[in-house]
Structure 1
Amino acid sequence: MNSAVTHTPTAALPTTEPLRVTLVVGSNRHGRFGPVVADWLLGHLRDRDDLVAEVVDVAEAELPMTFEPTPGATAALSGITPKLARADAFVILTPEYNHSYPAGLKNLIDWHFTEWQAKPVALVSYGGLSGGLRAVEHLRQVFAELHAVTVRDTVSFHNAGASFDDGGTLRDPTAPDAAAKTMLDQLVWWGETLREARKRRPYGG
Protein backbone atom coordinates (compact mmCIF):
# COMPACT_ATOMS: atom_id res chain seq x y z
CA MET A 1 0.00 0.00 0.00
CA ASN A 2 1.45 3.32 -1.03
CA SER A 3 1.39 6.02 1.57
CA ALA A 4 0.36 9.50 0.52
CA VAL A 5 3.09 12.08 0.41
CA THR A 6 2.19 15.42 1.93
CA HIS A 7 3.84 18.45 0.39
CA THR A 8 4.25 21.43 2.64
CA PRO A 9 3.91 24.70 0.69
CA THR A 10 7.08 26.72 0.61
CA ALA A 11 6.61 30.11 2.21
CA ALA A 12 7.03 32.91 -0.29
CA LEU A 13 9.88 35.25 0.38
CA PRO A 14 8.77 38.74 1.36
CA THR A 15 8.86 41.22 -1.47
CA THR A 16 10.92 44.29 -0.73
CA GLU A 17 9.17 47.47 -1.76
CA PRO A 18 11.36 49.67 -3.96
CA LEU A 19 13.02 52.58 -2.20
CA ARG A 20 11.72 56.04 -2.93
CA VAL A 21 14.75 58.15 -3.85
CA THR A 22 14.66 61.90 -4.32
CA LEU A 23 17.38 63.34 -6.54
CA VAL A 24 18.22 66.92 -5.54
CA VAL A 25 19.79 68.94 -8.37
CA GLY A 26 21.83 71.46 -6.43
CA SER A 27 22.74 74.26 -8.86
CA ASN A 28 20.62 77.22 -9.93
CA ARG A 29 23.18 79.21 -11.90
CA HIS A 30 22.42 80.44 -15.40
CA GLY A 31 24.02 78.12 -17.93
CA ARG A 32 24.55 75.40 -15.32
CA PHE A 33 25.90 72.00 -16.31
CA GLY A 34 23.89 70.14 -13.66
CA PRO A 35 21.00 68.97 -15.88
CA VAL A 36 23.44 67.06 -18.11
CA VAL A 37 24.77 65.08 -15.15
CA ALA A 38 21.27 64.75 -13.68
CA ASP A 39 19.95 63.13 -16.87
CA TRP A 40 22.77 60.59 -16.80
CA LEU A 41 22.15 59.90 -13.13
CA LEU A 42 18.39 59.52 -13.60
CA GLY A 43 19.07 56.88 -16.21
CA HIS A 44 20.90 54.82 -13.59
CA LEU A 45 18.20 55.35 -10.99
CA ARG A 46 15.38 54.39 -13.34
CA ASP A 47 17.19 51.32 -14.65
CA ARG A 48 16.99 49.71 -11.21
CA ASP A 49 14.03 47.70 -9.99
CA ASP A 50 14.82 48.50 -6.35
CA LEU A 51 14.51 52.29 -6.74
CA VAL A 52 11.74 54.72 -7.63
CA ALA A 53 13.05 58.21 -8.38
CA GLU A 54 11.70 61.72 -8.36
CA VAL A 55 13.46 65.08 -8.64
CA VAL A 56 13.76 68.28 -6.65
CA ASP A 57 15.55 71.01 -8.63
CA VAL A 58 16.99 73.94 -6.67
CA ALA A 59 16.51 76.14 -9.75
CA GLU A 60 12.76 75.61 -9.48
CA ALA A 61 12.62 76.17 -5.72
CA GLU A 62 11.99 79.89 -5.18
CA LEU A 63 12.79 79.89 -1.48
CA PRO A 64 13.71 83.20 0.17
CA MET A 65 17.01 83.52 1.96
CA THR A 66 15.27 84.38 5.23
CA PHE A 67 12.93 82.08 7.13
CA GLU A 68 9.92 84.35 6.97
CA PRO A 69 6.64 82.46 6.35
CA THR A 70 5.86 84.36 3.15
CA PRO A 71 3.26 83.17 0.60
CA GLY A 72 6.08 82.53 -1.86
CA ALA A 73 7.94 80.31 0.60
CA THR A 74 4.77 78.42 1.45
CA ALA A 75 4.06 77.75 -2.22
CA ALA A 76 7.63 76.63 -2.89
CA LEU A 77 7.67 74.33 0.12
CA SER A 78 4.38 72.73 -0.90
CA GLY A 79 6.10 71.43 -4.04
CA ILE A 80 9.35 70.37 -2.36
CA THR A 81 8.64 69.15 1.16
CA PRO A 82 6.39 66.20 0.23
CA LYS A 83 9.06 64.83 -2.12
CA LEU A 84 11.62 64.98 0.68
CA ALA A 85 9.28 63.68 3.38
CA ARG A 86 8.21 60.56 1.48
CA ALA A 87 11.73 59.71 0.33
CA ASP A 88 13.52 56.73 1.84
CA ALA A 89 16.85 58.01 0.54
CA PHE A 90 18.43 60.92 -1.31
CA VAL A 91 20.97 61.57 -4.02
CA ILE A 92 22.43 65.08 -3.90
CA LEU A 93 24.00 66.37 -7.12
CA THR A 94 26.28 69.33 -6.50
CA PRO A 95 28.83 71.42 -8.35
CA GLU A 96 31.73 73.01 -6.53
CA TYR A 97 31.62 76.80 -6.13
CA ASN A 98 34.56 78.45 -4.38
CA HIS A 99 35.67 75.19 -2.70
CA SER A 100 32.16 74.38 -1.46
CA TYR A 101 28.58 73.75 -2.58
CA PRO A 102 26.04 76.34 -3.83
CA ALA A 103 24.13 78.70 -1.57
CA GLY A 104 20.83 77.67 -3.15
CA LEU A 105 21.42 74.05 -2.14
CA LYS A 106 22.28 75.05 1.44
CA ASN A 107 19.12 77.14 1.57
CA LEU A 108 16.95 74.22 0.45
CA ILE A 109 18.61 71.92 2.97
CA ASP A 110 18.16 74.42 5.80
CA TRP A 111 14.45 74.90 5.12
CA HIS A 112 13.96 71.26 6.16
CA PHE A 113 15.00 69.15 9.11
CA THR A 114 12.93 66.07 9.97
CA GLU A 115 12.69 65.16 6.29
CA TRP A 116 16.39 64.23 6.29
CA GLN A 117 16.51 62.38 9.61
CA ALA A 118 17.59 58.74 9.77
CA LYS A 119 17.82 58.47 5.98
CA PRO A 120 20.83 57.82 3.72
CA VAL A 121 22.29 60.40 1.36
CA ALA A 122 24.44 59.64 -1.68
CA LEU A 123 26.60 62.44 -3.07
CA VAL A 124 27.43 63.08 -6.73
CA SER A 125 29.64 66.02 -7.70
CA TYR A 126 31.15 67.71 -10.70
CA GLY A 127 33.68 70.46 -11.22
CA GLY A 128 37.18 71.19 -12.47
CA LEU A 129 40.32 69.45 -11.27
CA SER A 130 38.81 68.54 -7.90
CA GLY A 131 35.64 67.07 -9.38
CA GLY A 132 33.57 68.78 -6.71
CA LEU A 133 34.94 66.61 -3.91
CA ARG A 134 35.48 69.55 -1.57
CA ALA A 135 31.77 70.34 -1.87
CA VAL A 136 31.02 66.71 -1.01
CA GLU A 137 33.12 66.79 2.16
CA HIS A 138 31.34 69.95 3.33
CA LEU A 139 27.96 68.35 2.69
CA ARG A 140 28.91 65.34 4.82
CA GLN A 141 29.26 67.64 7.82
CA VAL A 142 25.91 69.30 7.13
CA PHE A 143 24.00 66.03 6.81
CA ALA A 144 25.63 64.62 9.94
CA GLU A 145 24.16 67.57 11.83
CA LEU A 146 20.76 66.74 10.32
CA HIS A 147 20.97 63.13 11.58
CA ALA A 148 21.30 61.74 8.05
CA VAL A 149 23.81 59.09 6.95
CA THR A 150 26.03 59.79 3.94
CA VAL A 151 27.15 56.71 2.04
CA ARG A 152 30.87 56.21 1.70
CA ASP A 153 31.32 55.97 -2.08
CA THR A 154 30.59 58.87 -4.42
CA VAL A 155 30.56 59.68 -8.12
CA SER A 156 32.61 62.69 -9.19
CA PHE A 157 33.27 64.23 -12.58
CA HIS A 158 36.61 65.97 -13.01
CA ASN A 159 36.55 68.53 -15.84
CA ALA A 160 32.92 67.59 -16.26
CA GLY A 161 32.32 69.59 -19.44
CA ALA A 162 34.90 67.53 -21.29
CA SER A 163 33.51 64.23 -19.97
CA PHE A 164 30.26 64.54 -21.96
CA ASP A 165 29.76 65.15 -25.66
CA ASP A 166 27.45 67.80 -27.11
CA GLY A 167 24.49 65.42 -26.86
CA GLY A 168 24.99 64.85 -23.12
CA THR A 169 26.47 61.37 -23.52
CA LEU A 170 29.53 60.30 -21.57
CA ARG A 171 32.56 59.88 -23.80
CA ASP A 172 33.85 57.01 -21.64
CA PRO A 173 31.15 55.68 -19.31
CA THR A 174 33.14 52.75 -17.91
CA ALA A 175 34.42 54.27 -14.66
CA PRO A 176 31.40 56.51 -13.92
CA ASP A 177 28.95 53.66 -14.54
CA ALA A 178 30.87 51.37 -12.19
CA ALA A 179 31.09 54.09 -9.54
CA ALA A 180 27.36 54.78 -9.82
CA LYS A 181 26.50 51.11 -9.32
CA THR A 182 28.69 50.87 -6.22
CA MET A 183 27.22 54.05 -4.75
CA LEU A 184 23.62 53.06 -5.46
CA ASP A 185 24.15 49.55 -4.08
CA GLN A 186 25.31 51.15 -0.83
CA LEU A 187 22.38 53.58 -0.88
CA VAL A 188 19.92 50.70 -1.26
CA TRP A 189 21.50 48.78 1.64
CA TRP A 190 21.32 51.78 3.94
CA GLY A 191 17.91 52.80 2.64
CA GLU A 192 16.32 49.40 3.28
CA THR A 193 18.03 49.05 6.66
CA LEU A 194 17.02 52.48 7.92
CA ARG A 195 13.49 52.21 6.52
CA GLU A 196 12.98 49.00 8.47
CA ALA A 197 14.48 50.59 11.59
CA ARG A 198 12.15 53.60 11.36
CA LYS A 199 9.16 51.26 11.09
CA ARG A 200 10.23 49.33 14.17
CA ARG A 201 11.15 52.30 16.33
CA PRO A 202 10.71 56.03 15.64
CA TYR A 203 14.00 57.87 15.45
CA GLY A 204 14.63 59.99 18.53
CA GLY A 205 16.97 62.73 17.32
Structure 2
Amino acid sequence: MNGIDSYISYLSKDKDTIFMEYGMYNPKLYKEPLRNNRFKQMTIDGIEAIFETSSNNYGGFASIYIPKIDSTDGFYMFNKNGNIQEVLNIYKTIKLNHSQRKSPLKINLQEFSDIKSPPGIVLYENNCLSCHSEYRYEIGPSLDPKFIQSKGKFWLKNYLYSKKKTLEYNIECSQIQKKDSVTANELLKYLFQPL
Protein backbone atom coordinates (compact mmCIF):
# COMPACT_ATOMS: atom_id res chain seq x y z
CA MET A 1 0.00 0.00 0.00
CA ASN A 2 1.20 3.52 -0.66
CA GLY A 3 0.87 5.80 2.39
CA ILE A 4 1.17 9.59 2.34
CA ASP A 5 4.94 9.63 2.89
CA SER A 6 5.80 5.94 2.89
CA TYR A 7 5.11 2.47 1.54
CA ILE A 8 3.24 0.10 3.86
CA SER A 9 2.72 -3.65 3.58
CA TYR A 10 1.92 -6.62 5.80
CA LEU A 11 2.05 -10.40 6.04
CA SER A 12 -0.47 -12.40 8.08
CA LYS A 13 -0.38 -15.91 9.49
CA ASP A 14 -2.76 -17.41 12.04
CA LYS A 15 -3.42 -14.70 14.65
CA ASP A 16 -0.36 -12.54 13.97
CA THR A 17 0.50 -9.93 11.35
CA ILE A 18 3.89 -8.49 10.46
CA PHE A 19 3.67 -4.86 9.36
CA MET A 20 6.34 -3.12 7.26
CA GLU A 21 6.81 0.56 6.60
CA TYR A 22 9.45 2.16 4.38
CA GLY A 23 9.85 5.89 3.89
CA MET A 24 11.12 9.23 5.12
CA TYR A 25 8.69 9.76 8.00
CA ASN A 26 9.09 6.50 9.82
CA PRO A 27 6.87 6.04 12.89
CA LYS A 28 9.54 4.36 15.01
CA LEU A 29 11.53 7.43 16.06
CA TYR A 30 11.77 7.04 19.82
CA LYS A 31 9.76 10.15 20.70
CA GLU A 32 7.65 8.22 23.22
CA PRO A 33 9.05 6.82 26.50
CA LEU A 34 10.85 3.51 26.07
CA ARG A 35 8.94 0.42 27.04
CA ASN A 36 10.50 -2.30 29.16
CA ASN A 37 11.61 -4.29 26.11
CA ARG A 38 14.91 -5.82 25.07
CA PHE A 39 17.17 -4.31 22.39
CA LYS A 40 20.08 -5.31 20.20
CA GLN A 41 21.94 -3.08 17.73
CA MET A 42 23.40 -4.99 14.78
CA THR A 43 25.03 -4.22 11.45
CA ILE A 44 23.12 -5.68 8.50
CA ASP A 45 25.12 -5.55 5.27
CA GLY A 46 26.89 -2.36 6.40
CA ILE A 47 23.81 -0.60 7.81
CA GLU A 48 23.03 -0.18 11.52
CA ALA A 49 19.72 -1.60 12.75
CA ILE A 50 17.89 -2.19 16.03
CA PHE A 51 16.09 -5.38 17.00
CA GLU A 52 13.54 -4.99 19.78
CA THR A 53 11.45 -7.67 21.50
CA SER A 54 9.07 -8.02 24.42
CA SER A 55 10.63 -9.08 27.69
CA ASN A 56 8.29 -12.08 27.55
CA ASN A 57 10.05 -15.01 25.85
CA TYR A 58 6.85 -16.89 25.14
CA GLY A 59 5.22 -14.59 22.65
CA GLY A 60 4.62 -10.99 21.83
CA PHE A 61 6.19 -8.03 20.08
CA ALA A 62 9.32 -8.22 17.93
CA SER A 63 10.62 -5.57 15.55
CA ILE A 64 13.50 -4.53 13.36
CA TYR A 65 14.13 -0.83 12.86
CA ILE A 66 16.59 0.57 10.33
CA PRO A 67 16.59 4.37 10.69
CA LYS A 68 18.52 4.96 7.46
CA ILE A 69 18.41 2.55 4.55
CA ASP A 70 19.74 5.45 2.48
CA SER A 71 20.24 9.14 3.19
CA THR A 72 16.53 9.88 3.77
CA ASP A 73 14.46 6.71 4.14
CA GLY A 74 14.07 4.26 7.00
CA PHE A 75 12.45 0.88 7.43
CA TYR A 76 10.39 -0.52 10.31
CA MET A 77 9.00 -4.05 10.50
CA PHE A 78 7.08 -5.32 13.53
CA ASN A 79 4.52 -7.81 14.74
CA LYS A 80 2.21 -7.60 17.74
CA ASN A 81 1.57 -10.97 19.32
CA GLY A 82 3.34 -13.87 17.66
CA ASN A 83 6.08 -16.28 18.63
CA ILE A 84 9.14 -14.06 19.05
CA GLN A 85 11.65 -16.66 17.86
CA GLU A 86 9.56 -17.42 14.77
CA VAL A 87 9.34 -13.73 13.91
CA LEU A 88 13.08 -13.21 14.50
CA ASN A 89 13.75 -16.13 12.15
CA ILE A 90 11.97 -14.13 9.45
CA TYR A 91 13.95 -10.98 10.31
CA LYS A 92 17.21 -12.96 10.08
CA THR A 93 16.70 -13.27 6.33
CA ILE A 94 16.72 -9.52 5.61
CA LYS A 95 19.36 -8.46 3.09
CA LEU A 96 20.30 -4.88 2.19
CA ASN A 97 22.34 -3.14 -0.52
CA HIS A 98 22.32 -6.01 -3.03
CA SER A 99 23.79 -8.28 -0.38
CA GLN A 100 25.49 -11.48 -1.49
CA ARG A 101 25.33 -12.93 2.04
CA LYS A 102 24.37 -16.61 1.86
CA SER A 103 23.59 -17.30 5.52
CA PRO A 104 20.96 -15.69 7.78
CA LEU A 105 21.91 -13.16 10.45
CA LYS A 106 22.86 -14.56 13.85
CA ILE A 107 20.49 -13.16 16.47
CA ASN A 108 21.04 -14.36 20.02
CA LEU A 109 18.33 -13.26 22.47
CA GLN A 110 20.84 -13.64 25.32
CA GLU A 111 22.78 -10.65 23.90
CA PHE A 112 19.81 -8.27 24.01
CA SER A 113 19.95 -5.45 26.59
CA ASP A 114 17.17 -3.71 28.48
CA ILE A 115 16.24 -0.03 28.84
CA LYS A 116 18.86 0.46 31.56
CA SER A 117 21.61 0.18 28.93
CA PRO A 118 20.01 0.86 25.54
CA PRO A 119 21.99 0.48 22.31
CA GLY A 120 23.49 3.53 20.60
CA ILE A 121 20.66 4.18 18.12
CA VAL A 122 18.02 3.96 20.87
CA LEU A 123 20.00 6.34 23.12
CA TYR A 124 20.52 8.75 20.22
CA GLU A 125 16.87 8.90 19.18
CA ASN A 126 15.48 8.92 22.71
CA ASN A 127 17.87 11.53 24.14
CA CYS A 128 19.80 13.45 21.48
CA LEU A 129 16.93 14.11 19.05
CA SER A 130 14.85 15.81 21.74
CA CYS A 131 17.21 18.83 21.54
CA HIS A 132 19.01 18.28 18.23
CA SER A 133 17.68 17.66 14.76
CA GLU A 134 19.40 16.06 11.81
CA TYR A 135 18.11 18.87 9.60
CA ARG A 136 18.15 22.21 11.50
CA TYR A 137 19.35 24.01 14.62
CA GLU A 138 16.93 23.55 17.52
CA ILE A 139 18.10 23.77 21.15
CA GLY A 140 21.49 22.44 20.06
CA PRO A 141 23.31 22.32 16.74
CA SER A 142 22.00 20.21 13.89
CA LEU A 143 23.43 16.68 13.86
CA ASP A 144 23.53 16.49 10.10
CA PRO A 145 26.18 14.30 8.41
CA LYS A 146 28.24 17.34 7.34
CA PHE A 147 28.55 18.60 10.95
CA ILE A 148 29.34 15.11 12.27
CA GLN A 149 32.01 14.47 9.62
CA SER A 150 33.59 17.88 10.27
CA LYS A 151 34.03 17.06 13.98
CA GLY A 152 35.31 13.51 13.52
CA LYS A 153 34.96 10.38 15.67
CA PHE A 154 37.60 11.30 18.26
CA TRP A 155 36.01 14.69 19.04
CA LEU A 156 32.48 13.28 19.12
CA LYS A 157 33.46 10.40 21.42
CA ASN A 158 35.05 12.84 23.89
CA TYR A 159 31.95 15.02 23.62
CA LEU A 160 29.68 12.07 24.46
CA TYR A 161 31.70 11.39 27.62
CA SER A 162 31.81 15.04 28.73
CA LYS A 163 29.39 16.91 31.00
CA LYS A 164 27.71 19.72 29.08
CA LYS A 165 24.93 22.24 29.46
CA THR A 166 23.36 24.71 27.03
CA LEU A 167 23.75 28.31 28.14
CA GLU A 168 20.55 29.46 26.47
CA TYR A 169 18.11 26.99 28.02
CA ASN A 170 20.06 25.68 31.05
CA ILE A 171 19.44 22.09 29.87
CA GLU A 172 21.95 19.35 30.59
CA CYS A 173 22.92 17.27 27.60
CA SER A 174 23.10 13.49 27.94
CA GLN A 175 26.43 12.19 29.13
CA ILE A 176 27.54 8.64 28.47
CA GLN A 177 29.64 7.08 31.22
CA LYS A 178 32.95 5.57 30.10
CA LYS A 179 31.80 2.22 31.48
CA ASP A 180 29.10 2.35 28.75
CA SER A 181 31.69 2.52 25.96
CA VAL A 182 29.78 -0.15 23.98
CA THR A 183 26.82 2.25 23.72
CA ALA A 184 29.12 5.13 22.68
CA ASN A 185 30.78 2.95 20.03
CA GLU A 186 27.39 1.81 18.68
CA LEU A 187 26.25 5.43 18.49
CA LEU A 188 29.41 6.44 16.62
CA LYS A 189 29.07 3.45 14.28
CA TYR A 190 25.54 4.62 13.45
CA LEU A 191 26.45 8.31 13.00
CA PHE A 192 29.50 7.59 10.82
CA GLN A 193 28.03 4.83 8.65
CA PRO A 194 28.42 5.52 4.91
CA LEU A 195 25.08 6.02 3.15
TM-score bracket for the superposition, by shorter chain length? under 0.3
TM-score after normalising by structure 2: 0.24
- Greater strand content: 2
Structure number, greater radius of gyration: 1
